[in-house]
Amino acid sequence: MTTATQPSLASKPKKRGGLLRQVMGNRMALFGVGLLLFFLLIALLAPIIAPGSPDKFAGPPNQPPSSEFLLGTTHLGKDVFKQTVWGARSSLLVGFGTAFFTTLIAIVVGMSAAYFRGLTDDLLTLVMNLFLVIPGLPLLIILSGYLRPATSTVIFVLTLTGWAFAARIVRSQTLMLREKDFVAAAKVSGDSNSRIIFREILPNMTSIIVGLAISGVAYGISAATALSFLGLTDISEVTWGTNLYWAQNGNALLSGAWWTFVPSGIAVALVIFALSLINYAMDEVTNPRLRAEKDLKDVFKQQSAQTVRATPVIRRAH
């Protein structure tokens, strides 16, 4: 109880918002965040941008892009622009939903394994490794064969097959942090296990967990798109994946209707690209090795820096 108020040895000086500010100062990250926000806005404002049901028959089939149909129509005469805009909703929802649950499970499992060690660790590590070695997509496919997924079951199935990788990273990070002095100090001052885990160790992994969550979104979106493309989700729902499914099964390739598959594919790619940019930039900000390399380049701003092959150790006076 007393530890909550007294400035315990365990509390490390933290720069709240420091990470966020640094990341936002990075051009790459800024672009990534902007791109992601753009798609989030599209998903939120779908009823305003493209009013009316995307499933409605809007015009003659297989029309190329025109002023009336910005991205043309499908083989069933549905408006591709509307389908792409509305597809953002379900695809992003599944992506963020999956990321939330995989990250949550990864934190709980990874941290308990590393913190409690012993038999708990052995068992949990075994389970993680099993999920890593059993091929993911085949498992996803047979699971969806039995479950006939709606959005919620897709998230469930994707979480089940996708949490292990993140959990392993959380585990190894926790293993490293639990040996640090500030954890020992917290133990000595009598903090409970849960307090040490959640108040001492967890905050020190923020950047890694954010990174894992971002990868989780990317995983969720690409895996859900793949499942829908295979026709294993509810194909009457409008998502980027089902758009691609209908494009392939509506013979878009044969009839030359490139506009039916290109928009959804590019949308998926841009979202994933945005997420990877954010992750890459976060890496650059938090990984001293990469940061030093970048700083050195900034200092010399010329060729000479690139002949240095060893990782430079420099620190700029801030």
Partner 1 sequence: MRFILRRLGFYLIAFFVALTINFFLPRLIPGDPATAIIGRPGVSLTPEQLNAVRTALGLSDAPLFQQYLNYLGQLTRGDLGISYTRFPASVISVIRTGFIWTLLLVLTSLIISFTLGHLLGIYSAWRRGAFLAKALPPGMILFGAFPAFFIAISAVYYLGYQLKWFPTMHAYDVALTPGLNLPFLLSVGKHMTLPVLVLVLTTMGGWALGMRNVMVSVLGEDYITLAEAKGLSSRRVMYRYAARNAMLPSITSFGIVLGASISGLLLIEQVFSYPGLGFLMVNAVRNSDYPLMQGLFLLITVFVLVANFAVDILYTRLDPRVRAE
Q: How many residues bind partner 1 (CB under 8 A)?
A: 50
Comparing CB distances to partner 1, the nearer of 196 and 268 is 268
Instruction: State the number of CA atoms in the 13 A half-sphere of 61 facing the CB.
Output: 8
Query: Does position 52 bind partner 1 by CB under 8 A?
Result: no
In DSSP terms, which residues pair with 265 in a beta bridge?
none
Site map (CB under 8 A) of partner 1, residues 1-20, x = contact: --------------------
Calpha distance 52→61 (Å, rounded): 18
Per-residue interface string for the shown chain with partner 1, residues 279-318, x marking contact by CB under 8 A: -x--------x-------------x-xxx-xxx-------
Question: Judged by CB under 8 A, does residue 248 bind partner 1?
Answer: yes
Indicate if the alpha-carbon torsion angle 131, 281, 93, 239 is positive or negative: negative
- Indicate whether 229 belongs to the interface with partner 1 (CB under 8 A): yes
CA distance 139 to 131: 10
Closest among 243, 256, 254 to 78, alpha carbons compared: 243
Report the alpha-carbon distance of residue 168 to residue 147 in Å, rounded.
28
| Interaction residues for partner 1, span 89-148 (CB under 8 A) | 126, 129-130, 132-139, 141-146
What are the CA-CA distances from residue 104 to residues 100, 120, 160 (Å)?
Answer: 6, 18, 12
Instruction: Record the tokens describing residue 84, joined without a space.
Output: 């792409």
Q: Token pair 């499933």 is at which residue? A: 55
To partner 1, the closest distance from the beta carbon of 51 in angstroms equals 28
To partner 1, the closest distance from the beta carbon of 204 in angstroms equals 24
Tell the smallest beta-carbon distance from residue 74 to partner 1 (Å): 15
User: Is residue 150 part of the contact set for partner 1 (CB under 8 A)?
Assistant: no
Q: In the set 270, 292, 294, 295, which binds partner 1 (CB under 8 A)?
A: 270
Q: Which residue among 43, 244, 282, 296 contacts partner 1 (CB under 8 A)?
A: 244
Residues 140 and 161 sit within 8 Å (Cβ to Cβ):
yes
- Rounded CA-CA distance 275/129 in Å is 26
Residue with tokens 């949550």: 104
| Minimum distance, C-beta of residue 234 to partner 1, in the bound complex (Å) | 14
Binding stretches for partner 1 (CB under 8 A) = 126, 129-130, 132-139, 141-146, 222, 225-226, 229-232, 244, 247-248, 253-254, 256, 258, 261-262, 265, 268-270, 272-273, 276-277, 280, 289, 303, 305-307, 309-311
